[in-house]
Structure 1
Amino acid sequence: MFNIKPNRRGLIQLLVISLGITTLINGILFTFNINQSVTQPIKPEYPLLPSSWMIGLIWTVLIGFMAYTQWLLIKKTRDRALLSIVPILFLNCVLYPLYSQGFTNDFNQLIGNLFTITYAAFITGRIRSITKFGSNLMLMVTLWALFATFATSKLI
């Protein structure tokens, strides 16, 4: 689909594509005020969550981490199966607003969060021997998804 090379231009391409998609999605969420993301604070039953714009910013940074990790993998391996794991996580994350039905379907949100935690943790371990730095970046995705799942659970 994209012919990303293991050079500086390839890194820039990955960052522009992934962050562009994320910015577009964040723009849609805020422009159309999905789930009152602009006009209302986070639901009071989720006191641990930061504001909506901060969550969007955190995910933008995490998507950047995914893009950089993908570039590190492109530099170090030609294994097509291995090169497909980070893009699958990326798709899962950017489609979250859709399959969670605009952040209104608690069950779909929980399933999506659990998949993200599990899959990001899998990636963290799977790529550790190839790129420790990339593995640590994927660990950040895992930790954020863990926190978000805990913060939106009805346990607190």
Structure 2
Amino acid sequence: MLDVLNRPNRGSLIANLCVALASVLLMNALIFGFGWNIPSDQMRRVWFEPPDYVVGAVWVALFALMAFARWQLNGTTTGQARRARFWITFLLVSCLLYPLYSLAIGSVIGGLIGNLWTIALAAFTISRVWRVSPIAAYCIAPVIVWVTFATFITLGELGYL
């Protein structure tokens, strides 16, 4: 089953995209379904915070880019490419689990720590992927940009901005 994700053909691209998009859409359904997107009373709303549906749509786009980056590495069969694919997969899973350790428990501090972790992990992943495919690395870079923006929102919610 997992082998289909690691082939350098169009079917594998579709499989990578489908797995990533189904995962993020399921998580978005949980976020909106359980009301994890509704701020608690002690949380401040920041003026530059986008609407929740925009946040969800951005994550869908980011997951599609990460899935494409993962697939992009399938054309190279070196150990370096396999390790780079692992790091992209690890980043995808880490991003997918973020709502569980921040939004689900209503922890702004957990969100801040998660943001910093995600930025560091994405930067590390880019450093590993760049050696194999700069195009794939460029597809991961928007994760850093978006999560940095989200970190400013989190700092605002904590009252630091």
TM-score (norm 1): 0.88
SS at structure 2 position matched to 1:142 = helix
Percentage of pairs with the same residue: 32
1:81 Cα deviation after fit: 2.4
Compare the two structures and name the one with the higher helix fraction: 2
User: What is the rounded CA distance, in whole Å, between the counterparts of 2:45 and 2:137 in structure 1?
Assistant: 33
Match of 1:56 in 2: 56
Asked if 1:36 corresponds to 2:41, the answer is no
* CA 72–114 in structure 1, closer or farther in 2 if over 3 Å, else same: same
Match of 1:18 in 2: 20
SS at structure 2 position matched to 1:127 = helix
Match of 1:118 in 2: 120
Residue ranges of structure 2 left out of the alignment (5+ in a row): none
**Residues 35 and 104 in structure 1, CA contact (< 8 A), matched pair in contact too:** no
Matching residue within 143, 146, 157 for 1:144 = 146
Q: Give aligned pairs, total.
A: 152
Q: What are the superposed Cα offsets for residues 133-156 of structure 1, whole Å, 9 maximum, x if unpaired?
A: 111111111111111101220331
Match of 1:84 in 2: 86
* CA 35–103 in structure 1, closer or farther in 2 if over 3 Å, else same: farther
- Indicate the larger mover: 96-105 or 10-19: 96-105
1:32 Cα deviation after fit: 2.7
**Residues 111 and 154 in structure 2, CA contact (< 8 A), matched pair in contact too:** no
1:44 Cα deviation after fit: 4.5
**Residues 36 and 103 in structure 2, CA contact (< 8 A), matched pair in contact too:** no
Q: What pairs up with 1:62-77 in 2 under 5 angstroms?
A: 62-77=62-77
- Indicate the larger mover: 46-55 or 7-16: 46-55
Q: What are the superposed Cα offsets for residues 81-121 of structure 1, whole Å, 9 maximum, x if unpaired?
A: 22210011111111111111426112211111001101111
Instruction: Please tell me the residue identity of whatever aligns with 2:64.
Output: G
Residue ranges of structure 1 left out of the alignment (5+ in a row): none
* CA-atom RMSD in angstroms: 1.9
Matching residue within 132, 135, 138 for 1:133 = 135
SS at structure 1 position matched to 2:46 = coil
Matching residue within 5, 8, 33 for 1:6 = 8
* CA 92–155 in structure 1, closer or farther in 2 if over 3 Å, else same: same
Give the structure, 1 or 2, with the largest relative contact order (CA under 8 Å, sep 6 or more).
Answer: 2
